[in-house]
Structure formats: structure tokens, C-alpha cells
Amino acid sequence: MSTYRYNVIIEQDEDGLFVASCPTLQGCYTQGETYAEALENIKDAIRLHIDARRQLGEPVPLESVLEEVEVVVYTSARQVG
């Protein structure tokens, strides 16, 4: 048994559904009617994604380092356009 840790993104769409994705695993996404359901569904999708890669003999990507940065953007008095 192996344990993997991945960052996931969960966003609510315009229809109220929660869409979940795992950026490290390209094409790994799902949805749910609630945040909790989307979270559980993305865990299942990640497991299936990893199983499929293993069956195909492909490497399982590891999570990259995620760092949060703060950026200040100054607005000028003159607007372009």
C-alpha cells in the first residue's frame, strides 16, 4: 500500500455544482453537489487515476512544491486602452 498527497482545487460553478481537480494528475477531475461530495469524489478519481497509470506501467507523478506568494499590483492614474 502506498500513500500519496496531492493538492486539489474545488470551485463552485455557475450551476451550483462543485468541480474538483488535481492539477498534478492531468485530466483528473470530478464534481459533486456539495463541497464534501466533490472532495470524496476527487479522492476516488485520484485512486482510479493512479491505478490506471500503474496498470499501464506509467510513473505516478509526485506533487510539486506549492508555495503561496503575495503580489502587490499598483494601478496608474492613466489607463491604457
Per-residue pLDDT reduced to its tens digit, 29-72: 999 999 999 999 999 999 999 999 999 999 999 887 767 888 99
Q: How confident is the model at residue 1 (pLDDT cuts 50, 70, 90)?
A: confident
Domain 1-81 has CATH 3.40.50.1860: no
Report field, pTM of the whole predicted structure over 0.85: no
Q: How confident is the model at residue 81 (pLDDT cuts 50, 70, 90)?
A: low
DSSP calls for 17-72? -EEEE-TTSTT-EEEESSHHHHHHHHHHHHHHHHHHHHHTTPPPPPPPP-------
